[in-house]
Amino acid sequence: MTEPLNTEEVEQVRPEPRKPTLFLALLPILAMMVILAVGYIWLGLPAEPLLVAATFVAGFVAIHLGWNFDDMMAAISEKIAKVMPAFLILIAVGFLIGSWMVGGTIPMLIYYGLEIVSPEYLAVTALLVTSIVSVATGTSWGSAGTIGVAFMGVAIGLDANLPLVAGAVVAGAYFGDKMSPLSDTTNLAALTAGVNLYQHIANMLWTTGPAYILSLIVVLTLGRGAGASGSGDLESVALINSFLDQAFTWNVWLLVPLVIVLLGSILRKPTVPVMILASVVALINAVLFEGQTVVNSIQATLSGFDLSMLAAVGVDPATAPDQVGTLLQRGGMSSMMGTLLIAFCALAFAGIVSRIGALELIVEKLTAYAKNTPSLIMATIAIGLITIATTCNGQVSIVMPGEMLRETYIKRGLHPKVLSRTIEDSVTVTETLIPWTAAGAYMAGTLGVATLDYAPWAVLNWSGMIFALILTFTGLGIKKITPKEQKLFLENPQAAMNA
């Protein structure tokens, strides 16, 4: 009688999974696009179950190709492991916002913002200030989660157009994320393409510069229209600030948490410990200066600040103006759980699609049809958009096209800094426009405006691709390399970077 094979023996004799055809590679991606277009955009259904449905399609394709359930689970686990640092940052931001609310940091920024910022120029001020903070820190998430939240508070107080202000914040945050030498995505794009960091940043001005100017024009013109930049009742603003002045005690120590975050980013310290330190200082401020109880302070980091907590300092929450609840009742780690859920669902899809080799095949086919410079750059943009929409991971979506296309660009006589710029135009800034990516979900959760609502106003984030195409067909900003430089880039990339 033959003994049954053990698990290891079954694994050894299992046929090698097949490579997908182009149709099978495209099927899960097309299914996801159709399901989300119909369910999320048209019918307004939640994205999470729709992403699960798309994952089932990807799973059936994987099984058809010879992959088993364990293979798919391993692929999903690998994807989640890679983005775990981003998840920890997300939770830390919820912790930070809750502590900054109860500790008076964000209320103080809102208070003085309402006092100083002109309603007519709120959107453009949000764009400019967020840009400066983001360039100084190199983090779009950090600048949006701190100064961006404060501007959204001011926007609520002024009864402004929230999608417009949120779009201005996002555009400013990602301008800094692209142009700052401290940005992880900027460094990664330059490193992957094999170009000098500062050459890469200077070269991005060809597309990011016009896109930023267009953003300024839009928020200056449309932001000054009726109801667009804030036509809030001044009496209402006075009532809000009067209540804030009664509920909180203002002093310079309340700004220390903000200084900690800015310094930590500039000095390139680990993000999560810096955020936790800033949050702890805010909690100390809550007890020492704001008169809050320890229990209320800790509770704010979990479930967010609540107006009922003001009873501890002798303020009746019932006397709060209507907009104050929306203004202050935010933050907490639990507020980020919805964002994490959508990210988990998206990563399940991304893991399976990556495991079956669908993206690699699509990249191979697209580049095969790119016979000249315009078609190659258009293919790069398409690859960037497909990759970020399917992997939901900015780092992966920068590295993969960079590694796959670098040699192609060089052999066709194009400087690899054209590649690094195009990847940034199609990945770094567009990630936040897609609702199911971690960045899109983060900005929506942090700023309190749905991704598709602020996306049209985040002009910089989508217009960079348009300017990239304009440059492609005019030849402006398209750096060519000599045969000697080609050889150097291919044989000694490090020397080429330093040349």
The SS3 of residue 387 is helix
List Cα–Cα distances, 423 to 149, 230, 403, 465, in angstroms: 28, 36, 11, 10
Domain hosting 279: range is 88-183+207-336
Whole-number average pLDDT of the chain: 83
**Does 189 have pLDDT greater than 60?**
yes
DSSP state of 480: B
Selected residue with higher pLDDT from 308 and 37: 308
Q: Assess if residue 353 is contained within a domain.
A: no
Q: Are 101 and 282 in contact (CB under 8 A)?
A: no
Confidence of residue 498 (pLDDT cuts 50, 70, 90): low
Indicate the DSSP class of residue 40. I
Cα 176 to Cα 112, 133, 136, 439, distances in angstroms = 24, 7, 8, 15
Q: Is residue 130 part of a domain?
A: yes
Beta bridge partners of 414: 480
Name the band, by pLDDT with cuts 50, 70 and 90, for residue 469.
very high
Gap between the Cα atoms of 388 and 90, Å rounded: 19
* Residue 273, C-beta contacts closer than 8 angstroms, at least 6 positions apart: none
Least confident of 69-78, 167-176, 363-372: 363-372
- Distant-in-sequence, close-in-space partners of 458: CB < 8 Å, separation ≥ 6: 167, 168, 170, 171, 174, 215, 432, 433
User: Residue for token digits 């897609």?
Assistant: 434
Q: In this structure, is residue 235 part of a structural domain?
A: yes
H helix intervals, 248-393: 256-266, 271-288, 294-303, 322-328, 337-355, 358-369, 373-391
pLDDT score at 60: 94
Closest CA to 489 of 198, 189, 195: 195
% of the chain with per-residue pLDDT over 70: 87
Long-range contacts of residues 221-225, Cβ cutoff 8 Å, at least 24 apart: 222/164, 223/120, 223/121, 223/122, 223/123, 223/124, 223/161, 223/164, 223/168, 224/120, 224/121
Please give the single-letter amino acid code of residue 341.
L
pLDDT at 226 over 50: no
Tokens of 116: 């100083």
pLDDT over threshold 90, residue 459: yes
> What's the whole-number mean pLDDT along residues 273-285?
92
Structure-token match 């005019």, residue found? 474
Which pLDDT does position 137 carry in this prediction? 61
Q: Which of 86-95, 140-149, 289-298 has the highest mean pLDDT?
A: 289-298
Whether residue 250 lies inside any domain: the answer is yes
- Residue 9 in this model has a pLDDT that exceeds 70: no
Handedness of CA 37, 445, 333, 90 (dihedral sign): positive
Q: Is residue 240 part of a domain?
A: yes
Tell me if 359 is assigned to some domain: no
* pLDDT score of 492: 67
Cross-strand partners of 480: 414
pLDDT > 90? residue 271: no
Residue 117: pLDDT above 80? no
174 vs 493: which has the higher pLDDT? 174
Closest CA to 128 of 175, 186, 183: 175
pLDDT score recorded for residue 182: 61
Question: How far is 288 from 468, CA to CA, in rounded Å?
Answer: 53
Of 236 and 382, more confident: 382
Token pair belonging to 157? 């107080």
**Confidence grade of residue 80 (pLDDT, cut at 50, 70, 90):** confident
Q: Is residue 442 part of a domain?
A: no
Query: Is residue 51 a part of any domain in this protein?
Result: no
pLDDT, greater one: 340 or 431: 431
Mean pLDDT within 91-113: 85
Residue 309 CA, distance from chain mean position: 32
The CB density around residue 447, as the number of other CB atoms within 10 Å, is 26
Positive or negative CA dihedral for 89, 92, 98, 100? Answer: negative
The answer to whether residue 40 scores a pLDDT higher than 90 is no
| Tally of structural domains, the chain | 1
pLDDT, position 236: 65
Torsion of CA 156, 162, 165, 166, to 10 degrees: 110
pLDDT band at 488 (very low <50, low <70, confident <90, very high): confident
- Reported as a pLDDT band with limits 50, 70 and 90, residue 404 is confident
Which ranges of 356-447 does DSSP label H, i.e. alpha helix? Answer: 358-369, 373-391, 394-411, 416-423, 438-447
- Specify which of 334-348, 387-401, 435-449 reaches the highest per-range mean pLDDT: 435-449
How is the chain split among helix, strand and coil, in percent rounded to 5? 80, 0, 20
- Give the tens place of pLDDT for each residue, 408-430: 888 888 888 999 999 999 988 99
The residue type of 261 is V
- State the pLDDT confidence band at 86, using cuts at 50, 70 and 90: low
